[in-house]
Amino acid sequence: MKFTVDKHEKYVLIKLNEAKLNSLISPQLKSELILINTEGIRNIVLDLSGVKYSDSSGLSSLLVGHRLCKNADGSFIITGVNENIDRLITISQLESVLTIVPTVEEAIDLIFMEEIERELKKEAR
């Protein structure tokens, strides 16, 4: 699996450099997401701008990322989704589960906004 990992203080950006997110790539992506999560990172941005096609196992890896971040009280944000993958997400009725934004910059802004909201909720308790 070809990908880049860009670690920051509040989040990790993973850019998948594969044309297909299928049953050959999905287990490797799941492993990487689990590894990142076990390092204590709770916010992950997954950039799929290079991915042209995904199947159900690819969707499964996205759900793993979502679950890991949610359980860690963090955010899993997907960006760069093309029309084919967007259609698959809609058919699977996952558009209300997964957080999808058009650009990496918007994903980063959303992470910082959600981190501020979490801090404010902690202070309110």
In tens, the pLDDT along 74-108 reads 999 999 999 999 999 999 999 999 999 999 999 99
Mean pLDDT of 48-67: 95
Q: Where are the beta strands (DSSP E) in 1-125?
A: 3-7, 12-16, 20-21, 44-47, 53-54, 76-79, 99-101
Q: Using the predicted structure, report yes or no on whether residue 124 has a pLDDT greater than 90.
A: no
Q: Using the predicted structure, report yes or no on whether residue 125 has a pLDDT greater than 80.
A: no
As a whole number of Å, the end-to-end CA separation of the chain is: 43
Structural domain harbouring 72: 3-124
pLDDT tens digits for 2-23?
999 999 999 999 999 999 999 9
Q: Using the predicted structure, report yes or no on whether residue 51 has a pLDDT greater than 90.
A: yes
What are phi and psi for residue 6, nearest 5 degrees?
Answer: -120, 105
pLDDT of residue 105: 97
CA 52 to chain centre: 16
Structurally, how many domains does the chain consist of?
A: 1
pLDDT of residue 10: 93
Question: Which CATH number is 86's domain given?
Answer: 3.30.750.24
pLDDT tens digits for 20-42?
999 999 999 999 999 999 999 99
pLDDT of residue 122: 86
Mean pLDDT of 60-77: 96
